[in-house]
Amino acid sequence: MSTFGSPLGNTSVIFDLDGTLVDSEPNYYEASRALLAEHGVRYTWADNEAYVGIGTQETLATWRDRYGIDVPVAELLTELDRRYLDLARADTHVFPEMRGLVERLHGAGVPMAVASGSSRAAIDAILSGTGLDAQLTTVISADEVAHGKPAPDVFLAAAALLGADPADCVVFEDAAPGATAAHAAGMRCIAIPYVAAHADAPAFAAAALLLPGGQSEFTAQAALDFLSAAPLRARQAPSF
């Protein structure tokens, strides 16, 4: 994909979805709580925080072992997706500053992709339901690569779809596994922790920019200022 005319030169931006672009964790928690309750497991919000940023299939495999659930991961995934999509279609909140950033990057011609640990069905439902699919047309799910985060596969696949060098990509992430994946992919990471208590996680220490206060500290303009000032290759003069 050509980046001619972009004020950020060769820079491409890759967004995580859940907890980064949208506040989907409450819906994932409720879907997970209800699913596990069917198997006699009491699941709390505190339990859920341990899985923020981990791919759905990896999470379900962990639950099978931890809680002794004798159901294949594929069946659990189908049921979790059904519950989650019912909730997501009814109400998913886009972080306003993130929507503003996406709109401004799109208007400036900056290549963008979404790379998420959620299933492709969940990603597509969220993007279409929130209208983000108008600007974010390049999408990859961790289900479509060999390994989910913290492995770099999903981010490298996103870069390939954009025709971008990983070194020219900047990842926006809310979770430590995603920050680890971005670093392993050779990409810069702007970290906006969803769980405040995780802000001091070692994975975030390597972030090019860390906002410990999460979304309460994030602004589209600050992100654009950072991207414009960062030493990326073949940059033209910023004109946001």
113 phi and psi angles, rounded to 5 deg: -145, 160
Answer whether 0.85 is exceeded by the pTM: no
Helix (H, G, I), strand (E, B) or coil at 107: helix
| Side chain identity at residue 66, one-letter code | R
Q: Calculate ∠ Cα 188-124-210, nearest 5°.
A: 25
More confident residue, 21 or 81: 21
Nearest-angstrom CA–CA distance, 59 and 102: 29
Active site residues: 16
Q: If pLDDT is split at 50, 70 and 90, which confidence band does 235 have?
A: very low
| SS3 readout for 142-207 | HHHCCCCCCCCHHHHHHHHHHCCCHHHEEEEECCHHHHHHHHHCCCEEEECCCCHHHCCCHHHHCC
Model pLDDT, residue 229: 82
Q: Answer whether 142's CB lies under 8 Å from 157's CB.
A: no
- Whether residue 150 has a cis bond before it, omega within 30° of 0: yes
What is the pLDDT averaged over residues 109-121?
A: 93
What is the pLDDT averaged over residues 42-71?
A: 92
89-100 pLDDT, tens digit per residue, is 888 999 999 999
More confident residue, 234 or 171: 171
Nearest-angstrom CA–CA distance, 240 and 234: 17
162-194 pLDDT, tens digit per residue, is 999 999 999 999 999 999 999 999 999 999 999
- The answer to whether residue 9 scores a pLDDT higher than 90 is no
Model pLDDT, residue 4: 45
Q: Record the tokens describing residue 16, joined without a space.
A: 């995580």
More confident residue, 239 or 109: 109
Helix and strand numbers (H, E) in the chain are 10, 8
> Which strands, in side-by-side order, build the sheet including 169-173?
139-141, 112-116, 12-15, 169-173, 188-191, 209-210
Rounded to the nearest integer, the mean pLDDT of the chain is: 90
Q: If pLDDT is split at 50, 70 and 90, which confidence band does 55 have?
A: confident
| Side chain identity at residue 43, one-letter code | Y
Nearest-angstrom CA–CA distance, 64 and 58: 10
